[in-house]
Structure 1
Amino acid sequence: MSESRGSGLRIVHTHGERITVSEVSTGVELLAYVYRPEDAWESPKPYVHPLRTLAGDIVTDYRPNDHRWHKGLQMTASHLSGQNLWGGNTYVHGQGYLELPERVGSMVHAGFDEVAAEAGGAVIAERLTWHPYDGELWADEQRRVEVRDVDPGAGSWALTWSSAVTNRREEPLRFGSPTTAGREMAGYTGLFWRGPRGFRGGRVIGPDSEGPGLMGRSAPWLAYTAEHDGRDGHATLVFEHAPENDHAGARGTHPAHWFVRSEPFAAVAPSLAFFDELELAPGDTLTRRYRVIVAEGARDRQDIVKYLAEHPW
């Protein structure tokens, strides 16, 4: 085990298992980044859980009974060239979700380049490899998870997540989703957040509208606000594309669309391939960067817009 401190944050690395980041003045553990391998059926991969507000409230779920492979905040690939790096059953058009263990792959921790508290926050820089069921190397990933803008007075802090995935096959990698495979409005793939059971029925807010109609829409950000079980109060999570993500495909790149549910559970994903497959050529790198703002209270659109203006990328 190793420990470092800086900028009001404390990092504890339990080698081979997890890294935790805590805010020193409150003693609250803001996140645990877990990278030890877990059940093969659940498509082993590193994940963030628990994720907490500065008040100490947990805003992620772990292995819920409806989807055991939902684990906090994690990078996923539900349909990847015929393989499932999401976990659990695989959607097959005309047959529904089938138990196909020979399609369930993994994202494997390969090493850390940096784990440190630094000016303004903390950083976890990791190398990973992506594999189908048979263990062949399909991709390398350079991942960077950062803690930034920790403000106990305002009750908010921000996590940034960047992933650069390089295709190591001799043929294209095809990123898809259940929707590209034939299921309507189930475009989940890429960075995926599963909220606590108490967040069911929460409020979904976008830049110019709100509600379940934001499913499948493109927008620079999307927010989810809900009330806690067990104690009074709310929390708001804002999921934001970095400017270079080109979420709308305005520069000719692949557009992103939001996968979001408040029923039967809380979930948000800035989908990599909602309606159409994304093809990554051999040797090419797919890079995406996101910010997740974790705030106490029920923030409205005006609050969110103000925060984003005051905290540019």
Structure 2
Amino acid sequence: MTMATGNGVPEVERIRASLEIWLGGLWDESTLRINSLEPFGSGHSGATFLAAAQSARGSEEFVVRTSVPGVKLSGPNDVGRQGRVMAALWSEGAPVPQVHAIEPDAAIADRAVVVLERVVGDDWCTVANSQGHRAVGEAAVRGLQRLRDTPNELLTAILGTAESPSEELARWFGLLERSESESAGEAKRVFDRLVGDEPSNTPMGLVHGDFHYGNLLFRGGEVVAVLDWEIASHGPSLSDLGALAVASLRRRYGDPNPTGDVDIRLDELAALYGVEHDAAAWFIASACVKYAAIIAYNLRLHRSGRKHDPIYEALVGTVPCLLDDASDIVEHGLSDL
């Protein structure tokens, strides 16, 4: 079913027409035409479209991310912030799409918009089938190390003061508490144990926040684009290694795993990154709590009708599995995983 506005115009057509006028004026391209605008990607991270455009410059394709209309422009819905982050990182040579235009206010068919380069690349599964799972893990870690090199002064300017490991963990645990999940009690036990054993002297840097194989594009054996910057922050650099490790943990659960079923041991990931197992373990356990919180909260939103996304019904069993793994890592480290 095609969504329509109150005047009967399909919503996608309304976005297309408004986008065409805005970009034509912004780029001083009176001949610019957006010939098509189609939904693009998995649909789990905001509203994303692929635009096919024609102008005096020739034929072009862009990726267009928009805010959700009627929802406050903050947090994951603040696409203007996402655009500013990607633009700053691209200027530093980071593997992110180039940003072509940003409209931070809800001015394009009642939506904020960021227009991005369409990066050509392979997904993790294609690389795993041709080069093996370890090659995927190695490339992902190299991509993560490139992000790690982002200057802290730039991060402070675009993302604010860095959070400590416990501050970051507390933010996600608060989300899990608001989800009213049946697993909140187990999560609290793991949370208390992690906070009591917070690592010291942790390097601070860029945190993508959702760094997993499903958010990466590969070409020539390297990561050429890191996508979906909705929850980027300034904090402990090892947080993203934890997120990458969780993707491999989830392959054992049997539930859908859009983060990527890459078969690589957690101690191997830690070694590739160049960090001691004990240091990595805290952040991997913390990432298990974080993803349990994200899934539980989105499930609540889905069931309440506030955000329709049926994949979360299929992930009900993932939440206790993540918390079980977090508890095992806290107790025994990475040796069995």
Q: TM-score, normalised by structure 2?
A: 0.25
| Structure with more of its chain in helix, by fraction | 2
Q: TM-score, normalised by structure 1?
A: 0.27
| Structure with more of its chain in strand, by fraction | 1
Structure whose CA Rg is larger: 2
